């Protein structure tokens, strides 16, 4: 009976539920996709490149599950707030507390169940799409990849059911304690007068101070390490909350004090709305700012990672191709691209040593990156006589790097001997030629590098003992790039979808909060219409009001990102590279939510006649 | 005396095509001279609110024509109607319709703000009207902090500040106790007599109706009869009660077609 009533009540608030649960559905879909990508067992065994990506997605899963927990907790409390009054009425007509509590729990679990079904279907589609895109980008086949992967389904279902059980149980305890009067009254309390902020100056100062600490910790993360890792999120979060709580009411107050502006047109209404809205939403808005920081940060982080695959590979490899015994096929490929510099060295291998020709090296020293100054230089000429200590020749640090660049595949296997030409001629062993080639832009000729690597695959088995073409990869810039790029692409997708999930969660919280207040506004807009305010003017007022509401968390969230991206300097070279692209992507999605909210709001408060 | 309101054979039919039609106002005509204080009475469902809303340009007519201060409102589009309302009409509603998110001052000032009047002018007008209505010392409060009577006086101040041609009131005393209702009606009478504000008021309450200078009785969407005060207010009150008793004996509601 009560359950039937409750179901009806649920139907009436469909719109609010739909908004709340889009966030949940997207979270489930992304969670499932991450899990499928990281758990597919046969797939891991098959592919060494993929191995690395999977760890990335596992990290993503953990991050998503933490935020999802808080999101579920939050939405569950909204859920309760939507139904409080109704539950109060049930109790009034004689339903027992226990019955009501059971209804609430069933409702929550049912909604989670429905979201799980939709989310999993969406997740399967998403895995299909993402794996397909990754496959194409990385030029590898996802042979054993299963889009519908039962362990992933299992863990997704378990995680979401358990989490919503926990959160609804917590709220259930609260429901048990609350009195019937409070339940019935809860809807009226919506419009509290905005209170005068106490100790506002002190609070603002404290907020700024905390933010400053957080930012310093973010900025000097590299030196602060663990201290920074803990201080940054805590201080930034606290700072954000304190600042929003203290600052928002003050801003509107200041605004209203400018009477010239306030008493112009409909401004007094708009600022009045904002005054109430900002002070009732300050906590939510602070949360939104943090979620924005996380989502934009995730998107930008993934993006920067992907770019880093290109920039960091150029840091470490000055030459784009390193070819052992190149044949006509290899040379044809090199001829087809604009090579800026091409160097050839000879090398002999006997049982003990790798021999290189001193004169050849001095005649054409390769470019290297100096490990101390970080500049790209050619090493100074080698002396005629090289000392030998403990069985190996002593060379300068620069030449040490250069020798590795010349002979990346074999350099570490045997001791190297740099000898004059006459001595080299006398040495035993087969001669191997090495060709280094450099172009202006490594990323412009990816296909050629790949072709060269394939050709070298035939040569390596004779060259390197125990080389297995099935599992091992050649020691080239491209091979390293490929691994790096796979991880980076994985991180990019992970970041993007993580960001998207955070963003939908934040948008659903914000939209829910704004739209659930809309019903109170219907009367206000109707009064204004009666008083003779044009529809356009009302529409503008509404857009402006919501713009401000969206603006504040947007600004602070992005500021967090600008500062926070620096944190990544300890794993990549240019975390800020093309940050604007990610910011634009973020703004497009966020803006989309803004316009969608306005649209829904207008439909509620300004119905067409 | 100038005619400020003329309703010529107006009708209002509710219900869209296909659904059951319901005629709430049926071929009704009346005139209002400047400075009149007209009360509209009638049984519940007789069409009083509908009539007032049509005059207020909030509800379009099905048939007929309404002219306010020489301007025909039937032919205006939505924006023109909005502007017309904001310049020529003042409203008082039963549930006050104050904007809770604005202070008393801001509420009262709104009609002038909407016309983009100068700040000085707005401030002096608000102070003047507020003190006229005895709410000069609560202008910085929010509606939630006011009593019912104070809210209603705020609503009146807002309805008057832009000196409208016509003040429309739908059961303005409905949510007030008799003490507050009497004060309110005295205020309306004062406004009507001293400032020559024309008032059209819907009311259920015979006591309130006795303050008017003319009463229109509506029944089944038609004008049933008119009544003018002849003696004292109390005598008029008795007269009204008699008429209402008479009306009540006949079944109410409109005409189905
Ligand atoms: N929007 C509408 N759609 C359909 N019928 C309506 C609508 N508004 C009013 N009516 C009908 O028109 C008739 C007149 O309604 P109106 O509100 O004018 O009555 P009233 O005289 O103000 O009554 P009361 O004294 O109870 O306020 C009623 O029978 C009502 O049911
Ligand atoms: Mg009515």
* Pair (A542, A438) in one structural domain: no
User: Count of domains in chain B?
Assistant: 1
Q: Is the pLDDT of residue B255 over 50?
A: no
* DSSP 8-state symbol, B171: S
Strand partners, A345: A434
* Pair (A284, A417) in one structural domain: no
Q: How far is the CA of B49 from the centre of ligand 2 (A)?
A: 4
For helices A579-605 and A267-316, the axis angle rounded to 10 degrees is: 150
Q: Is the pLDDT of residue A166 over 80?
A: yes
Q: Is the pLDDT of residue A551 over 90?
A: yes
* Pair (A385, A446) in one structural domain: yes
Residue of A263, A276, A609 lying closest to B122 (CB–CB): A263
pLDDT of residue A542: 93
What is the pLDDT confidence band of residue A177, given thresholds at 50, 70 and 90?
A: confident
* Pair (A468, A478) in one structural domain: no
A106: which residues sit within 8 A by CB, 6+ positions away?
Answer: A3
Question: Counting atoms of ligand 1 from 1, which one is nearest the CA of B12?
Answer: 12
Largest CA-CA distance found in chain A, in angstroms, rounded = 107
* Mean pLDDT for all residues in chain B: 87
What is the pLDDT confidence band of residue A437, given thresholds at 50, 70 and 90?
A: very high
Residues with CB under 6 A from ligand 1: B 14, 22, 24, 42, 44-50, 204, 253-254
**Within-domain flag for A262:** no
Contact of B106 with chain A, judged by CB distance below 8 Å, is answered with yes
pLDDT of residue A123: 94
Domain boundary at A472, A493, A527, which?
A472
Q: Is the pLDDT of residue A580 over 50?
A: yes
Name the CA dihedral angle for A500, A502, A508, A509, rounded to a multiple of 10 degrees.
-160
Q: How far is the CA of B5 from the centre of ligand 1 (A)?
A: 22
Best probe of the A interface among B16, B73, B82, by most A CBs < 10 A, is B82
* Pair (A467, A477) in one structural domain: no
pLDDT of residue A103: 84
Average pLDDT of the residues in A185-200: 64
Average pLDDT of the residues in A277-290: 86
- Please give the residue of chain A at the shortest CA–CA distance from B109: A263
Helix (H, G, I), strand (E, B) or coil at A410: coil
Largest CA-CA distance found in chain B, in angstroms, rounded = 56
What is the pLDDT confidence band of residue A165, given thresholds at 50, 70 and 90?
A: very high
What are φ and ψ of residue A365, in 5° steps? -70, 135
Distance CA B134, CA A394 (A): 101
Chain B nearest CA to A253, separation (Å)? 12
Q: Which ligand sits closest to the CA of B45?
A: 1
Q: Closest residue (by CA) to atom 1 of ligand 1?
A: B14
* Pair (A439, A486) in one structural domain: no
* Pair (A26, A169) in one structural domain: yes
What residues of chain A, 38 to 77, have a C-beta less than 8 Å from chain B?
none
pLDDT of residue B257: 37
Q: Residue for token digits 């997708």?
A: A493
Distance CA A251, CA A277 (A): 13
pLDDT of residue A192: 61
Average pLDDT of the residues in A511-523: 82
Tell which one of B48, B56, B247 to mutate to probe ligand 1, the residue whose CB is within 8 A of the most ligand atoms: B48
What is the pLDDT confidence band of residue A546, given thresholds at 50, 70 and 90?
A: very high
Is-contact A528 A563, C-beta < 8 A?
A: no
- Does the distance separating the beta carbons of B113 and A268 come in below 8 Å? yes
What is the pLDDT confidence band of residue A50, given thresholds at 50, 70 and 90?
A: low
Is-contact A359 A420, C-beta < 8 A?
A: yes
What residues of chain B, 29 to 68, have a C-beta less than 8 Å from chain A?
56, 58
What are φ and ψ of residue A467, in 5° steps? -75, 125
What is the pLDDT confidence band of residue A44, given thresholds at 50, 70 and 90?
A: low
* Pair (A307, A211) in one structural domain: no
* Mean pLDDT for all residues in chain A: 85
Q: Is the pLDDT of residue B114 over 50?
A: yes
**Residue-wise pLDDT tens digits, B135-154:** 899 999 998 888 888 998 89
- Does the distance separating the beta carbons of A276 and B114 come in below 8 Å? no
pLDDT of residue A47: 55
Best probe of the B interface among A255, A260, A262, A263, by most B CBs < 10 A, is A263
H/E segment holding residue B9 = strand B3-14
Contact of A529 with chain B, judged by CB distance below 8 Å, is answered with yes
Chain A nearest CA to B66, separation (Å)? 18
Cα radius of gyration rounded to whole Å, chain B: 18
Any idea what the CATH number is for the domain that residue B13 is in? 3.40.50.300
Contact of B104 with chain A, judged by CB distance below 8 Å, is answered with no
Domain residues for B70?
Answer: 3-253
What is the pLDDT confidence band of residue A212, given thresholds at 50, 70 and 90?
A: very high
Residue of A268, A276, A533 lying closest to B106 (CB–CB): A268
**Residue-wise pLDDT tens digits, B60-100:** 888 899 998 888 888 888 888 888 888 889 988 877 789 98
* Pair (A453, A592) in one structural domain: no
Q: Which of A256-260, A550-554, A595-599 has the lowest mean pLDDT?
A: A256-260
What is the pLDDT confidence band of residue B249, given thresholds at 50, 70 and 90?
A: low
Of the segments A157-166, A570-579, B168-177, B215-224, which one has the largest average pLDDT value?
A: A157-166
Can you list the alpha helix ranges (DSSP code H) found in chain B?
48-55, 78-88, 104-114, 119-132, 148-160, 178-194, 206-209, 233-248
| Of residues B222, B223, B194, B198, the one with CA closest to residue B212 | B198
- Does the distance separating the beta carbons of B99 and A524 come in below 8 Å? yes
Q: Which of A84-88, A548-552, B241-245, B251-255 has the lowest mean pLDDT?
A: B251-255
Q: Retrieve residue A540's tokens.
A: 């503008």
Residue of A268, A530, A609 lying closest to B102 (CB–CB): A268
Distance CA A492, CA A499 (A): 10
Q: Is the pLDDT of residue B254 over 60?
A: no
Contact of A268 with chain B, judged by CB distance below 8 Å, is answered with yes
For helices A579-605 and A477-516, the axis angle rounded to 10 degrees is: 20
Q: How far is the CA of B45 from the centre of ligand 1 (A)?
A: 5
pTM for the whole structure: 0.81
Chain A nearest CA to B24, separation (Å)? 19
**Residue-wise pLDDT tens digits, A309-328:** 888 888 888 899 999 889 89
Q: Which of A48-57, A227-236, B31-40 has the lowest mean pLDDT?
A: A48-57
Q: Which residues of B touch A529 (CB under 8 A)?
A: 82
pLDDT of residue A163: 93
Give the count of beta carbons closer than 10 Å to the beta carbon of residue A357: 19
Contact of A534 with chain B, judged by CB distance below 8 Å, is answered with yes
Contact of A272 with chain B, judged by CB distance below 8 Å, is answered with yes
* Pair (A466, A428) in one structural domain: yes
* Pair (A252, A335) in one structural domain: no
**Within-domain flag for A194:** no
* Pair (A92, A163) in one structural domain: yes
What is the pLDDT confidence band of residue B250, given thresholds at 50, 70 and 90?
A: low
What is the pLDDT confidence band of residue A85, given thresholds at 50, 70 and 90?
A: confident
- Does the distance separating the beta carbons of B91 and A531 come in below 8 Å? yes
Q: How far is the CA of B194 from the centre of ligand 2 (A)?
A: 29
**Residue-wise pLDDT tens digits, B189-226:** 988 888 888 999 999 888 889 999 999 999 888 888 88
Domain boundary at A457, A472, A487, which?
A472
- Does the distance separating the beta carbons of B114 and A272 come in below 8 Å? no
- Does the distance separating the beta carbons of A528 and B144 come in below 8 Å? no
pLDDT of residue B252: 47
Helix (H, G, I), strand (E, B) or coil at A496: helix
User: Count of domains in chain A?
Assistant: 4
What residues of chain B, 158 to 197, have a C-beta less than 8 Å from chain A?
158
Q: Is the pLDDT of residue A470 over 80?
A: no
Q: Retrieve residue B124's tokens.
A: 């002096």
Domain residues for A215?
Answer: 199-257
pLDDT of residue A157: 95
Q: Is the pLDDT of residue B251 over 70?
A: no
Q: Residue for token digits 């993929």?
A: A50
């Amino acid at each position: 009976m009560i359950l039937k009533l409750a179901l009806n009540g649920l139907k009436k608030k469909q719109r609010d539920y739909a908004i709340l649960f889009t966030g949940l559905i997207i979270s489930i879909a992304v969670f499932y996709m991450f899990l499928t990508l990281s758990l597919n067992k046969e797939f891991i065994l098959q592919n060494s490149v993929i191995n690395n990506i999977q760890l990335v997605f596992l990290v993503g899963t953990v991050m998503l599950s933490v935020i999802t927990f808080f999101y579920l907790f939050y939405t569950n409390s909204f859920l309760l707030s939507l139904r409080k009054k109704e539950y109060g009425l049930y109790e009034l007509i004689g339903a027992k507390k226990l019955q009501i509590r059971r209804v609430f729990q069933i409702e929550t679990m049912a909604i989670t169940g429905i979201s799980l079904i939709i989310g999993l279907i969406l997740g399967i589609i998403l895995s299909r799409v993402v794996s397909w895109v990754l496959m194409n980008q990385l030029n590898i086949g996802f042979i054993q990849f299963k889009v519908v992967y039962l362990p992933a389904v299992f863990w997704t279902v378990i995680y979401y059911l358990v989490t919503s059980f926990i959160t609804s149980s917590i709220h259930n305890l609260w429901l048990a304690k609350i009195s019937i009067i409070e339940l019935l009254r809860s809807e009226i309390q919506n419009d509290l007068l905005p209170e005068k902020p106490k100790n506002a100056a002190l609070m603002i100062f404290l907020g700024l101070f905390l933010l400053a600490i957080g930012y310093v910790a973010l900025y000097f993360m590299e030196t602060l390490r663990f201290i920074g890792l803990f201080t940054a999120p805590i201080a930034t979060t606290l700072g954000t909350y304190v600042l929003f709580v203290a600052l928002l009411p003050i801003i509107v107050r200041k605004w209203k004090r400018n009477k010239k502006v306030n008493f112009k047109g409909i401004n007094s209404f708009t600022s009045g709305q904002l005054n109430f809205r900002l002070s009732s939403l300050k906590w939510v808005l602070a949360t939104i700012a943090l979620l924005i920081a996380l989502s934009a940060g995730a998107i930008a982080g993934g993006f920067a990672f992907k770019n880093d695959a290109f920039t960091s590979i150029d840091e470490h490899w000055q030459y784009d191709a390193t070819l052992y015994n190149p044949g006509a096929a290899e040379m044809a490929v090199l001829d087809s691209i604009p090579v800026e510099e091409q160097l050839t060295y000879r090398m002999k291998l006997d049982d003990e040593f790798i021999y290189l020709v001193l004169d050849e090296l001095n005649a054409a020293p390769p470019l290297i990156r100096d490990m101390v100054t970080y500049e790209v230089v050619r090493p100074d000429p080698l002396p005629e006589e090289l000392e030998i200590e403990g069985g190996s020749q002593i060379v300068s640090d620069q030449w040490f790097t250069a020798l590795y660049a010349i002979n990346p595949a074999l350099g570490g296997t045997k001791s190297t001997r740099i000898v004059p030409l006459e001595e080299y001629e006398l040495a035993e062993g087969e001669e191997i030629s090495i060709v280094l080639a450099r172009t202006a832009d490594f990323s412009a000729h990816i296909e050629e590098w790949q072709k060269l690597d394939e050709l070298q695959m035939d040569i390596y088995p004779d060259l390197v003992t125990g080389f297995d073409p099935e599992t091992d990869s050649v020691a080239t810039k491209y091979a390293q790039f490929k691994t790096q790029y796979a991880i980076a692409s994985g991180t990019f997708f992970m970041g993007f979808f993580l960001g998207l999930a955070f963003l939908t969660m934040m948008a659903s919280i914000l939209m829910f909060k704004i739209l659930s207040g809309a019903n109170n506004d219907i009367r206000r807009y109707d009064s204004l219409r009666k008083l003779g305010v044009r529809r356009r003017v009302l529409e503008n007022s509404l857009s402006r009001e919501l713009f401000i509401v969206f603006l504040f968390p947007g600004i602070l969230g992005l500021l967090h990102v600008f500062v926070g991206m620096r944190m990544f300097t300890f794993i990549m070279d240019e975390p800020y590279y093309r940050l604007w692209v990610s910011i634009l992507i973020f703004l497009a999605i966020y803006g989309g939510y803004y316009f969608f909210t306005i649209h829904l709001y207008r439909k509620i408060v300004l119905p067409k006649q | 005396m100038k005619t400020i309101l003329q309703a010529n054979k107006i009708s209002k039919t509710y219900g869209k095509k296909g659904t059951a039609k319901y005629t709430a106002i049926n071929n009704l005509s009346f005139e209002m001279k400047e400075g009149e204080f007209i009360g509209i009475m009638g049984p519940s469902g007789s069409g009083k609110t509908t009539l007032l809303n049509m005059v207020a340009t909030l509800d379009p007519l099905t048939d007929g024509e309404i002219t306010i201060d020489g301007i025909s409102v039937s032919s205006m589009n939505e924006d023109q109607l909005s502007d017309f309302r904001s310049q020529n009409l003042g409203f008082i509603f039963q549930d006050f319709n104050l904007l809770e998110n604005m202070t008393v001052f801001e509420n009262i000032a709104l009609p002038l703000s909407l016309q983009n009047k100068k700040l000085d002018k707005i401030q002096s007008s608000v102070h003047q009207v507020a003190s006229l209505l005895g709410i000069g010392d609560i202008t910085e409060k929010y509606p939630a902090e006011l009593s019912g009577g104070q809210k209603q006086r705020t609503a009146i101040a807002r309805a008057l500040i832009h000196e409208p041609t016509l003040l429309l009131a739908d059961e303005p005393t409905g949510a007030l106790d008799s003490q507050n209702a009497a004060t309110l009606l005295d205020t309306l009478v004062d406004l009507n007599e001293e400032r020559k504000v024309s008032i059209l008021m819907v009311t259920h309450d015979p006591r309130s109706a006795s303050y008017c200078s003319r009463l229109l009785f509506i029944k089944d969407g038609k004008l049933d009869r008119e009544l003018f005060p002849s003696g004292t207010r109390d005598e008029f009150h008795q007269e009204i009660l008699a008429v209402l008793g008479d009306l009540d004996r006949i079944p109410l509601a409109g005409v189905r077609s």
